[in-house]
Amino acid sequence: MKSIERILEALRPCQSVCVAGHIRPDGDCIGSQLGLTLALRGEGRQVVCWNEDPVPQKYAFLDPDGSVQPPRAGQAFDAVIATDSASYERLGRVGEFIAQRGVLINIDHHASNTRFGDLNWVMPRAPSTGELIYQLLRQARWPITSRIADCLFTAVSTDTGSFQYPTTRPTSYHVAGELVKRGADLEKICHEVYQSFPLSRVRLLQRVYNRFRLADDNRIAYFWLKQADYARTGADKADSEGLIDHLRAIEPVVVACVFEEVEPEVVRISLRSKTTRVDVNKIAALFAGGGHPAAAGARIAGRPLSIQRRVIAAIKRAIHDAKL
């Protein structure tokens, strides 16, 4: 692919590289970041792997030596590679520390990507950024070690909902199979990612089940996560990943939504759609957000109840326009 060739050509003279990921990283972000970091280090490059937020506990097994670090001032890079980040702003505080750089490379699969790099490889049809990193490594002929395979398999698996989301493509299974051939430890990955939840997350899920609401003839399910919920359950922000899927799985539900209190008058919304006929990326775009047709989000300033009314109304319109 020409995009990969341009990226490899740009990286050829680069010795110092920063691999950056988005705030509140998920499995695709952490797996892609670490897989690429390890591959570049294997090629003798000096690489830092930066993220504003720490690695969520369930992905900590991918990073036993603490490669993912918060950004630090005073460093210059020949290249910065942003992985799985739809916009420069999604890099959070990392963006403040990468001004002294050569080329900025943007590798992502979000339809809402703003093409903020000097080189942009954005593939909205790709189910995960992990697949793109795998393609990059294969074309570069860089070795894929068992540890890299663990990282990339986790990336592919989590962003396809363990190969259940409609975005999953035949290539996803092919890539997963190739990564297993190269040593991806399925037993360990499945245990750490899907079968080892902390008690704090279970307590948070209990609150979700006790307090979620339905609207529009049960086609919309939503719930609120407030600061007090984290305090009372002992959970952290990473524990909220995947909670929305429990509501999406309810049979009549078409769209699930999480309203999360970030600040007193700033709310983060997450949206999940069960059908290709309702594109939640378009709903999120109404609130200056974005993502994928089946999974998207936004940050909205305003009074919480006003935000709730506006978002639920937008979801209703989308469902009605789809004639569901």
Total of domains in the chain: 2
CATH code of residue 97: 3.90.1640.10
118 plus 204 within the same structural domain: no
pLDDT at 179 over 70: yes
pLDDT at 313 over 80: yes
CA distance 315 to 170: 30
Q: Residues near 196 by Cβ (< 8 Å), separated by ≥ 6?
A: 58
Considering the chain, what is the average pLDDT of its residues? 95
| 291-312 residue pLDDT tens | 989 999 999 999 999 999 999 9
Helix (H, G, I), strand (E, B) or coil at 267: strand
For 81-143, give the DSSP string: EEES-SSGGGGGGGGGG--SEEEEEEEE--TT----SSEEEE-TTSS-HHHHHHHHHHHHT--
Domain boundary among the residues 168, 194, 220 is at 194
113 plus 212 within the same structural domain: no
Give the pLDDT confidence score for residue 164 in this predicted structure: 86
Give the pLDDT confidence score for residue 1 in this predicted structure: 66
- 157 and 193 Cβ atoms separated by less than 8 Å: yes
Domain boundary among the residues 161, 179, 194 is at 194
Mean pLDDT on 48-62: 96
Give the pLDDT confidence score for residue 324 in this predicted structure: 85
141 plus 161 within the same structural domain: yes
159 plus 95 within the same structural domain: yes
- 290 and 298 Cβ atoms separated by less than 8 Å: yes
86 plus 218 within the same structural domain: no
Helix orientation angle between 170-181 and 146-159, rounded to the nearest 10 degrees: 160
CA distance 40 to 232: 42
Structural domain for 150, as ranges: 2-194
CA dihedral 298, 301, 306, 308 (to 10 degrees): 20
Give the pLDDT confidence score for residue 167 in this predicted structure: 85
pLDDT at 32 over 80: yes
| 190-209 residue pLDDT tens | 999 999 999 999 999 999 99
110 plus 155 within the same structural domain: yes
Give the pLDDT confidence score for residue 222 in this predicted structure: 98
160 plus 230 within the same structural domain: no
176 plus 281 within the same structural domain: no
pTM score over 0.85: yes
67 plus 179 within the same structural domain: yes
pLDDT at 237 over 90: no
pLDDT band, very low/low/confident/very high, at 288 (cuts 50, 70, 90): very high
61 plus 146 within the same structural domain: yes
67 plus 168 within the same structural domain: yes
CATH code of residue 314: 3.10.310.30
Measured at the CA of 186, the angle between CA 133 and CA 203, to 5 degrees, comes to 95
Domain boundary among the residues 140, 173, 194 is at 194
pLDDT band, very low/low/confident/very high, at 319 (cuts 50, 70, 90): very high
105 plus 166 within the same structural domain: yes
| 101-159 residue pLDDT tens | 999 999 999 989 999 999 999 999 999 999 999 999 999 999 999 999 999 999 999 99
